[in-house]
Structure 1
Amino acid sequence: MSEPRDILPEDEIHRGPPMTVSRYGPGKRLNHWITASCLILLALSGLPLFHPTLFFLTRLFGGGQNTRMLHPWIGVVLFFSFFIFFAQLWRANLPVRVDVQWTAQIGDFIGGHEDRLPELGKYNAAQKLIFWGMAFFIVVLIASGLVIWDQYFENVTPIALRRAAILIHSICAVLIILLFILHVYAAFWVRGTLRAMTRGSVTGGWAWRHHRKWLKELAGRGRIDQAK
């Protein structure tokens, strides 16, 4: 019997006590933090290039020239880092029918009445939205960024295209910053979530409350360690 698409190789229930559930392996956690660090560095280096009032941020990178030089290279690292992550998780983030119902009842989620929500797999609709939003914006940012990377592509891109690329790049940069802030806020707001990306596991109670279908699938398929 094939595994459901939202069950990954490292997903496993540990009896404890206390009972915990493995959610992310060391490689995925490292990749996540590299991606997050790149997003922060790109925001700090990109904002001073966006508006002169924020030029003081270039001091963090040793001045304006260093900032202009480092910014696109950090973007390249972000692109490859995120899409290694993307290749591992895209199937688990595909929309399913229950996501529509969850979205319609998002007020219950915000209000803390998750007992009224349908049982979920590894990710809810909001997590999937952030995942696919990040993927979309990163693709657009790397494509538009290459067009305006003067050091390598100034002589092969027409001025009109570069002007359009600057506008698109700026808009998408603002939107991905807002999406990143939403992601960070949700990680702290839903207590116990951040642990998944620091320790790699969540508590059994957290899994039962937020992703009960995923937990039941792990148990039903015998994804339980043999520790006593």
Structure 2
Amino acid sequence: MSGSRDILPDDEIHRGPPITVGRYGPGKRLNHWITASCLILLALSGLSLFHPSLFFLTGLFGGGQNTRMLHPWIGVVLFLSFFILFAQLWRANLPTRADVQWTSQIGDFIAGHEERLPELGKYNAGQKLIFWGMAFFIIVLIATGLLVWDQYFGETTPIDLRRAAILIHSISAVLILLLFILHVYAAIWTRGTLRAMTRGTVTGGWAWRHHRKWLKELAGRGRIDPAE
């Protein structure tokens, strides 16, 4: 059943008062912030190498040579960090029929009429789109990045392949940056969401409004901390 894959080890209702719901444990939050930090550092270092007018950004990394050396290694850390998260969260991000209905009624979500939307599990269709989009573009970026990593693979990559890899790498970098901006905007726009990645919990009201099916599943499975 789709509901069962929404329940992860850190998910638990805390009686309070006030009632809160565990959403992410310390390990997932640490991975999330490492991934986010790497994306920001890669954006800054990548832009500094992309065009001469942005070369001044290399000063943030100790100069051009350091930037060129650090950029691919930060990419490796991003890849490892994100795919630890991926291994833990991919099942909860599989599409469901409710996602199709949610997407068709996206106007109600934007207008704040979530009572008209189907009850959702741990993630909505928008969150799942960002998750799978991030996974896809990170794979593309690491693959194309390795092809143009001069220190290790420069001599073994044909020039035509290198040119294609640089073009695909650049386009993918722009697209993942747009996804990242969308992710940050959505987290800020939906009040109470950032708390999940800072404290690890959300309020009971937030869970009831945005992910009611997930909350009901937790209650139905007895995922409630013992009364004191």
Give, as a single letter, the amino acid of the residue that structure 2 aligns with 1:119: E
Listed one character per residue, the Cα deviations across residues 58-78 of structure 1 (whole Å, up to 9, x for unaligned) are 000011110000000000000
Check 1:71–1:2 CA distance in 2 against 1; reply closer, same or farther (3 A cut). Answer: closer
Q: Does 1:80 align with 2:52?
A: no
The residue number in structure 1 matching 2:112 is 112
- Mapped pair 1:158 → 2:158: yes
Deviates more, 1:49-58 or 1:130-139: 49-58
Give 2:162's aligned amino acid.
R
TM-score for both structures, normalised by structure 2:
0.98
Cα distance in 1 for residues equivalent to 2:75 and 2:34: 12
State whether structure 2 residue 45 is matched by structure 1 residue 45.
yes
Amino acid at match of 1:209: R
Partners of 1:7 and 1:46 lie apart in 2 by 37
Question: How much does 1:16 deviate?
Answer: 0.4
2:120–2:210 contact (8 Å) kept in structure 1: yes
- Alignment partner, residue 89 of structure 2: 89
Q: What letter matches 2:138 in structure 1?
A: I
- Equivalent residue pairs, number: 228
Provide the residue aligned with 1:215 in structure 2: 215
Tell me what 2:101 maps to: 101
After superposition, where does 1:1-228 map in structure 2 within 5 Å?
Answer: 4-228=4-228
CA distance in 1, matches of 2:154, 2:206: 51
Compared with structure 1, are the counterparts of its residues 139 and 2 closer, same or farther at alpha carbon in structure 2 (3 Å cutoff)? Answer: closer
Structure 1 segments unaligned to the other structure (5+ residues): none
Q: What is the CA deviation profile of residues 42-100 of structure 1, one whole-angstrom value per residue up to 9, with x for unaligned ones?
A: 00100011111111110000111100000000000000000000000000000001100
- Aligned-residue Cα RMSD (Å) equals 1.2
Q: Distance in 2 between matches of 1:56 and 1:69?
A: 16
Would the alpha carbon gap of residues 164 and 193 (structure 1) be closer, same or farther in structure 2, given more than 3 Å must change? same
Structure 1 residue ranges (4+ consecutive) displaced by more than 6 angstroms after TM superposition: none
Secondary structure at 1:162 match in 2: helix
CA contact (8 A) 2:141 2:169 kept: yes
* Structure 2 CA distance for aligned equivalents of residues 163 and 113 of structure 1: 48
Q: Is 2:2–2:96's contact at 8 Å kept on the other side of the alignment?
A: no
Residue 132 of structure 1, CA deviation: 0.1
Kept in 2: contact 1:49–1:55 (CA 8 A): yes
What amino acid maps onto 1:112 in structure 2?
G
Change (3 A) 1:3 1:128: closer
Q: Residues 2 and 172 (structure 1 numbering): CA distance in 2 closer, same or farther, change over 3 Å?
A: closer
CA distance in 1, matches of 2:175, 2:2: 38
- The letter of the residue matching 1:144 is T
Q: State the AA in 2 paired with 1:43.
A: A
Q: How many Å apart are 1:227 and its aligned residue?
A: 2.7
Over 3 Å counting, the alpha-carbon distance change for 1:104 and 1:3 in structure 2 is: closer
| Inter-partner Cα distance in structure 1 for 2:52 and 2:113 | 46
Q: Deviations over 1:137-185 (max 9, x none)?
A: 0000000000000011111010000000000000000000000000000
Separation (CA, whole Å) in 2 of partners of 1:2 and 1:100 = 14
Contact preservation (8 Å) 2:3, 2:214? no
Residues 96-124 of structure 1, C-alpha deviations (whole Å, 9 max, x = no match) = 01100000000000000001000000000
